[in-house]
């Protein structure tokens, strides 16, 4: 229900998103069901931040994974230990942060996500680095 990765050539527009320490600019995004949007995400904060499109429930579940990334030394405040991301967690699982609806970024980085929104549903974009969502680092995706 949250949508799927889109093709850049199908994007109807680009939205610039700036991540600051515990807030986003803009704080909400308006989209249409079926629309493909290119997000240009910049981390302007001093800490590692995430831009993740999902439901409140999916963010809550993902926060547990992100907590594990901190506990295992993958996320270290202002940088990411990329070697630790590849650590084998068993059953072929790693801590790679490679879902198409999400980017995890160090300060100063810029990344893009191209996303096609499936249907009008309750969505948010959020940072699930431990404590950031709770500090207010999330925004609404509003369907027009």
Q: What is the pLDDT of residues 78-120, one digit of tens each?
A: 999 998 888 776 777 777 888 999 999 999 999 999 999 999 9
- Cα atoms in the Cβ-side hemisphere of radius 13 Å centred on 139: 19
Using DSSP's 3-state secondary structure scheme, residue 16 falls into: strand
Number of H helices, E strands in the chain: 2, 10
Residue pointed to by tokens 């096609």: 116
Mean pLDDT of the chain: 94
Using DSSP's 3-state secondary structure scheme, residue 88 falls into: coil
């Amino acid at each position: 229900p949250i949508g799927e990765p889109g093709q850049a050539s199908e994007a109807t527009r680009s939205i610039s998103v700036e991540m600051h320490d515990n807030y986003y600019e803009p704080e909400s995004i308006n989209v249409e069901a079926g629309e493909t949007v290119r997000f240009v995400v910049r981390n302007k904060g001093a800490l590692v931040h995430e831009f993740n499109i999902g439901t409140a429930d999916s963010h809550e579940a993902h926060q547990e994974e992100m907590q594990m990334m901190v506990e295992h030394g993958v996320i270290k405040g202002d940088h990411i230990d990329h070697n630790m991301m590849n650590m084998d967690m068993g059953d072929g699982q790693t801590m790679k942060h490679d879902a198409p609806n999400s980017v995890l970024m160090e300060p100063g980085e810029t990344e893009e996500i191209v996303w096609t929104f499936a249907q009008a549903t309750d969505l948010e974009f959020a940072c699930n680095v431990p404590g950031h969502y709770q500090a207010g680092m999330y925004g609404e995706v509003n369907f027009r």
